[in-house]
Amino acid sequence: MDLEIPDKTRRSPPQRPSLGMGRIILGFIAATILLMISVPIHDALIRPWPNTVYSVSADGMNIGVNGQIRFGDGGAFALKVAAAVVKMWSATDNRPLMVELNSGGGDTGAAQMMAYSLLLANRLTRQGTATAVGRESACYSACTFLFAAGSYRKVDPSALFMFHQPHSQTMSWQPKIAPEDDDAKFQDRLTGLTLSWVSFRSPELAAFLEHNGFYRSRDCFLSAIQIGRDFPRYLTGKPAPLQTAVSPPLGFALNRDTVDSPEANGCFKRPE
């Protein structure tokens, strides 16, 4: 009987490992996360803005903020600033990135991200950034974070600012008592935001706000003229006529009755 000797050199074709349901699920999750990251970045780069109150010039060197700062605006703003930084690296002139402000404030988280992106641009470029509040325009609440972040800070004499303690659900409303009787200091996670940005440019203005009831639920209005006179370090140069693309103003913002009196809202007294 002839025996067939098996050929040991033959090998069976390799078996593909089964993916398994677990690997399929993990792959699906990873693809979903990648999509969630890439789509907002793609949209931020190709769309004018997720918030219609914003505008960007054709060359990317002028950003207008003309309205409410909303949740989600921070990332889009930072990407526009990053694009301007790249252009400034190759530019031969000293033109800064200009950010024109006419805003009643809004989401504090988004405003902080926007402001920090400007501070980073100041460090990464020789030109830096300029923030401006134009003729008959206003910069209220979280908008002041962005204003303080500019290397150059310009205002029109007609501009108005409003500073107050950011509000959260943990801070209850308090009566607006006389400033001299106001010794309340609330332990709130948002308490230091406005004061830290103000103090970054003008410790004197921060001290003035503290002395005049900042820790109460008050809207503390100051005109550009008063800031330029009493707290000049908050600005770079004296208030001067300045027309910007985001003027004329927001309809609700300019209420000059709030700044006609030295004790507007029971909040301000003239410094001694």
User: pLDDT tens-digit profile of 227-266?
Assistant: 999 999 999 999 999 988 887 656 545 555 555 444 444 4
Residue with tokens 């974070």: 145
Name every residue whose Cβ is closer than 8 Å to that of residue 78 and which is 6 or more positions away in sequence: 113, 114, 117
pLDDT of residue 195: 83
pLDDT tens-digit readout, 39-61 = 555 555 544 445 566 788 889 89
pLDDT of residue 194: 82
CA distance 82 to 121: 8
CATH superfamily of 53-266: 2-enoyl-CoA Hydratase; Chain A, domain 1 (3.90.226.10)
Q: What are the backbone angles phi and psi of residue 28, rounded to the nearest 5°?
A: -65, -45
For the chain, the distance separating the N- and C-terminal CA atoms, rounded to the nearest angstrom, is 122
The answer to whether 103 and 138 are in contact (CB under 8 A) is: yes
Domain ranges in the chain?
53-266
CB atoms under 10 Å from CB of 207, counted, come to 16
